[in-house]
């Protein structure tokens, strides 16, 4: 009988930690573990990093393979600001990617040196999500806490360091901070925000172990640990993406991205110019309001989330939490064109349309920024919780006019981390591991006729609603 070689891939997301135990040779998922996180509500979106560590321990134990895995890798939510004191303890709760309190600081950073300069240097124009803006917010609003900081980490860095003792990150997750460039940390950008470079972890090369599990951790001491990466970079690895193949991820947030050969640098700020976890690039656009916003509207209407109806001219822009793409951090939701004859099902369908419009509008910009062609015959890979819903699938097909493939494999982020861990044992690049595991296989749905009228109607409403969003309640 073959002796199994097993690795564990971890996804430490906004809401929970998920761990997958995977057979290196076959890609079979042998077991899963999950433990929830606690996120503050209101304007702040924060979590205690020590609870992430507790959730990681619980999720690893729940797989039943923590004592037997040969290698582990941790992927985590991007952009989160983890601040540690000289003893390595959190100074305060971590500010998460979807905390938009730093919008004024992001705007100030762009105003000080210009969007084009930020895009050329860091690949992205800072928004409220970026770690650079969050650090500027912390120094302005909590100077006593900032003065106690001796180290700054991203969420996946923090967990990897707790496992190994090694202060490391990777190029993919680092590229979402606003202070990393292809040649390393940009000291001038760090000076702009007042962050000492010595507070930051080293950037590890892809495909090499960054350390091994220490005694007292949930893993067997000596277990190899990979560098890990950000959640979007891990999902790209987990799907084994080749250049130019676009992905729509439908979760609490919605993202569109593609691996590209060209380095993106979009001065408009629509596209974040991320690096991938290997040697390429991962231009990405992210929306705050995706499945959770549409589900909220379904709940307000008292309807099942798939109880949509065709017809009507109502437009819903479901910006319930502000918005990142388009960059409207102070926006509120908007319903336009409501009629006596509008049905609840049509209103719900309009909410789906509004959410998908934001993603599809950004898709062409994502591919352009990375220098890849936008071929309408290339299927969109649809992943995330929304990909399992018929209303989401049909809306994407109708508004894009493109075929859609639904990978059967779930938990692409954790699979990508598992592929990183497997590569430590086999010497393969992580994306090649995932292609060998055939993680992107799944049913292909044929395109529906493209609904250009709906796309134009939403675009017109968005353009004309600009003054309303500028004056939205809560804008400073």
How many Cα atoms occupy the beta-carbon half-sphere of 424 within 13 Å? 27
Residue 238: left (phi > 0), alpha (psi -120 to 50), or beta?
Answer: alpha
The CA–CA distances, whole Å, from 415 to 23, 211, 229, 243 equal 11, 20, 12, 19
- Residue 122 CB neighbour total at 10 angstroms: 24
Told to judge if 231 belongs to the known catalytic residues of this protein, a careful annotator would answer yes
The CA–CA distances, whole Å, from 225 to 36, 159, 428 equal 23, 11, 16
Q: Which residues contact 8 (CB under 8 A, 6 or more apart)?
A: 19, 20, 21, 22, 60, 63, 65, 66, 69, 71, 72, 73, 418, 421
- Residue 424 CB neighbour total at 10 angstroms: 23
| Dist. CA 431–CA 428, nearest whole Å | 8
SS3 79: coil
| Dist. CA 406–CA 249, nearest whole Å | 11
- Residue 341 CB neighbour total at 10 angstroms: 8
| Active-site residue, from 11, 231, 266, 431 | 231
| Dist. CA 240–CA 233, nearest whole Å | 11
Q: Are 309 and 343 in contact (CB under 8 A)?
A: yes
- Residue 277 CB neighbour total at 10 angstroms: 34
Kind and range of the H or E run holding 29: strand 29-36
Q: Which residues contact 137 (CB under 8 A, 6 or more apart)?
A: 95, 101, 102, 105
Q: Which positions are catalytic?
A: 231
């Amino acid at each position: 009988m073959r002796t199994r070689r097993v690795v564990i891939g971890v996804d430490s997301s906004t809401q929970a930690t998920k761990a997958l135990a995977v057979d290196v040779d076959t890609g079979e998922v042998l077991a899963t573990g999950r433990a929830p996180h606690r996120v503050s509500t209101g304007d702040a979106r924060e979590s205690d990093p020590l609870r992430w560590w507790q959730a990681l321990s619980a999720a690893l134990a729940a797989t039943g393979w923590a004592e037997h895995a040969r290698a582990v890798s941790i992927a985590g939510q991007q952009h989160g600001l983890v601040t540690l004191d000289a003893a390595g303890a959190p100074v305060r709760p971590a500010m998460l990617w979807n905390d938009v309190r730093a919008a004024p600081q992001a705007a100030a950073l762009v105003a000080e040196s210009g969007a084009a300069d930020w895009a050329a240097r860091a690949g992205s124009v800072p928004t409220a999500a970026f770690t650079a803006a969050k650090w500027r917010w912390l120094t302005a609003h909590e100077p006593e806490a900032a003065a106690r900081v001796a180290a700054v980490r991203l969420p996946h860095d923090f967990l990897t360091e707790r496992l190994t003792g090694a202060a490391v990150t990777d190029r993919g997750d680092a590229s979402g901070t606003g202070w990393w460039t292809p040649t390393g940390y940009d000291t001038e950008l760090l000076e702009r925000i007042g962050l000492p470079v010595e507070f930051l972890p080293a950037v590890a090369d892809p495909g090499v172990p960054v350390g091994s599990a220490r005694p007292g951790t949930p893993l067997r001491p000596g277990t190899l640990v990979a560098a890990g990466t950000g959640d979007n970079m891990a999902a790209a690895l987990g799907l084994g993406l080749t250049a130019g193949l676009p992905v729509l991820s439908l979760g609490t947030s919605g993202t569109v991205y593609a691996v590209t050969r060209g380095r993106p640098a979009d001065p408009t700020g629509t596209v974040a110019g991320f690096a991938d976890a290997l040697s390429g690039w991962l231009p990405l656009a992210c929306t705050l309001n995706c499945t959770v916003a549409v589900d909220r509207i379904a709940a307000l209407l008292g309807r099942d989330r798939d109880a949509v109806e065709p017809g009507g001219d109502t437009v819903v822009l479901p910006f319930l939490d502000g918005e990142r793409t388009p960059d409207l951090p102070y926006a509120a939701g908007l319903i336009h064109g409501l009629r006596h004859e509008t049905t609840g099902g049509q209103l719900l369908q309009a909410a789906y349309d509004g959410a998908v419009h934001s993603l599809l509008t950004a898709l062409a910009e994502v591919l352009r920024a990375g220098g890849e062609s936008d071929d309408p015959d290339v299927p969109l890979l649809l992943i995330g919780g929304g990909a399992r819903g018929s209303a989401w699938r049909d809306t994407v097909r109708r508004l894009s006019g493109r075929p859609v493939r639904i990978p059967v494999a779930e938990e692409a982020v954790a699979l990508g981390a598992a592929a990183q861990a497997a590569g430590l044992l086999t010497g393969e690049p992580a994306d090649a591991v995932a292609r060998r595991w055939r993680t992107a296989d799944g049913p292909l749905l044929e395109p529906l006729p493209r609904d250009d009228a709906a796309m134009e109607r939403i675009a017109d409403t968005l353009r004309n609603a600009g003054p309303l969003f500028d004056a939205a309640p809560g804008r400073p």
